[in-house]
Amino acid sequence: MEEQKNNFIKAYEENADALFRHCLFNIRDREVAKDVLQDTFTKTWNYVVGGGQILNLKAFFYQTMKNLIIDYYRKKKSVSLDALSEDENFDPPAPVEVSIEEHSESLLAFRLLDKIPEEFKSVIVMRCVQELSFREISELTGEPENTVAVRYHRAIKKIKKLFNHDEPVQEYN
């Protein structure tokens, strides 16, 4: 049990930042992302303590988080701004200070990602944002590693074409 605990702590330290970025990228709410991250580690630890066998802890973290993000969106209810403003404890978060250049580059990157097919977009996000290897992406998606690598390189080409305006800007989806 002590070895499992040490392996889990090591995996936590190695993956917490990347998992948080992945969650924040998908949910876009820092506090909710923190909660989902905490739930990811809690559920994984409970599974380990319950006798579950995990071959790749990093992939298990991402799969657990993916399921929690899906659950979050299924449960999410819209709330009107008027109802929130009537609440005395309502305090919208202050905007994060970002330079104009960083903000415009971020917007451009998200716009370009939205213009390529989902299968390409997801590989780019897993590789560049989540910092997963092709093997790890392959394990998560159930596709051959070579297919993942080819898809990644094709996605980069598509984004470069869009960025350089070599291709008409259109929605692929």
Instruction: Say what the pLDDT of residue 104 is.
Output: 66
CA angle, residues 80, 73, 117, in degrees to nearest 5:
115
Instruction: Say what the pLDDT of residue 166 is.
Output: 52
Kindly give the parts of the chain with pLDDT less than 70.
77-107, 109, 166-173
Note the CATH number of domain 1-76.
Answer: 1.10.1740.10
Distance CA 144, CA 149 (A): 9
Distance CA 121, CA 106 (A): 15
- Specify the pTM: 0.54
Distance CA 166, CA 121 (A): 19
Q: Which CATH number fits domain 100-173: 3.40.190.10, 3.40.640.10, 1.10.10.10, 3.40.50.720?
A: 1.10.10.10
Whether 172 contacts 117, CB under 8 Å = yes
3-state secondary structure of 115: coil
Domain boundaries, the chain: 1-76, 100-173
